[in-house]
Structure 1
Amino acid sequence: MDKEMLPRWGWLLVGLFAMAVTANLLNFFVLGPAGLPGEYEVITIITSMAPVLIYLGVWYDEERQQYWDRSREHIVGDLVFIVVGAAIGSSIALVSVIDFGLPRIIQDVGAMAAGFMLAWGLFWWRNPELYQREADL
C-alpha cells in the first residue's frame, strides 16, 4: 500500500471504518444470535479497532520501520497482546459501569479509553524501543 496515496488521518479513517463494519457484521450475524446483549457489542468494535490505531503509527512513521524486521512470531504475538488487551480493558471498564445508569455513550467512551490504553500499554511493554525517542524528550 502506498503511504502517499492518503494522509495519515485518511488511512486511519479507512482502517477504523473497515474494522467497525467488520465488527458490526460479526455482532449482527454471529454474536447477537449467540446471545450477546447489545450493551456489550462495543467490546468487539473496540477490539477490532485497536490494532488499526497502534499499527498505523508503526507502519506510517519512518523512525519505526525497524519493527517490521522482527520475526513473524513476534509481530503475531504483539497482535495477540493488542487484541486481548483491548478486549480485557474494555470489558472490565464496561462491566464496572454498566449498572450505574450512565448514558450509553459515556459507557462506550469509557470502555474505548480503557481498552485502547491497555492494548497500547501491552504493545509498548513488548516494544519499548519503538518509543524511546518520545521517552527521552
Structure 2
Amino acid sequence: MDKEALPRWGWLLVGLFAMAMIANLLNFTVLGPAGLGPDYQVVTIITAMSPVLIYVGVWYDEDRQHYWEQPREHIIGDVLFVIVGAALGSALALVAIVGLGLWQILQDIIAMGAGFMLSWGLFWWRNPNLYRHEAEQ
C-alpha cells in the first residue's frame, strides 16, 4: 500500500470505516443471534477499531518504522494486547454505566474512551521506546 496515496487521516478514516463494517456484520450475523444485547454490541466495534487507531500511526510515521523490525511474535502479542485491552476496557465501562439511564450515544462514547485508552496504554506499556520522542518534548 502506498502511504502517499492518502494522507494519514485518510488511511485512518478508511481503516475505521472498514473495521466498523466488519464488526457490525459480525454483530448482525453471529453475536446478535447468539444473545449479545444491543447495548453491548458497541464493544465489538471498539475492539475492531482500536488496532486501526494505533497501527495507522505506527505504519505511517517514518520515525516509528523501527517497530516493524521486531520479531513477529512481539508484534502479534502487541495486537493481542490491543484487542483484549479494547474489549476489556469498553466492556467494563459499559457494565458500570449501562443501568444509569444515560443516552446510548453517551454510553458509547464513554465505552470508546475507556476501551481505546486501555488498549493504547497496553500498547505503550509494551513499547515505551516507540513514543519516547514525544515524551521528551
- Normalising by the residue count of structure 1, what TM-score does the alignment of the two structures yield? 0.99
Q: Tell me how far 1:7 sits from its aligned partner.
A: 0.6
Q: Tell me how far 1:116 sits from its aligned partner.
A: 0.1
Task: Give the aligned residue type for 1:38.
Answer: P
Q: Tell me how far 1:98 sits from its aligned partner.
A: 0.3
Task: Give the aligned residue type for 1:94.
Answer: L
Q: Distance in 1 between matches of 2:135 and 2:125?
A: 13
- Superposition RMSD on alpha carbons, in Å? 0.3
Counterparts of residues 1-137 of structure 1 (less than 5 Å): 1-137=1-137
Q: Distance in 2 between matches of 1:79 and 1:132?
A: 20
Q: Distance in 1 between matches of 2:17 and 2:106?
A: 21
Task: Give structure 1 regions of 4+ aligned residues with deviation exceeding 2 angstroms.
Answer: none
Aligned length: 137
**Please, which runs of 5 or more residues in structure 1 have no aligned partner?**
none
Q: Tell me how far 1:79 sits from its aligned partner.
A: 0.2
Q: Distance in 2 between matches of 1:102 and 1:35?
A: 22
Task: Give the aligned residue type for 1:43.
Answer: V
**Please, which runs of 5 or more residues in structure 2 have no aligned partner?**
none
Q: Identity across aligned pairs (percent)?
A: 69
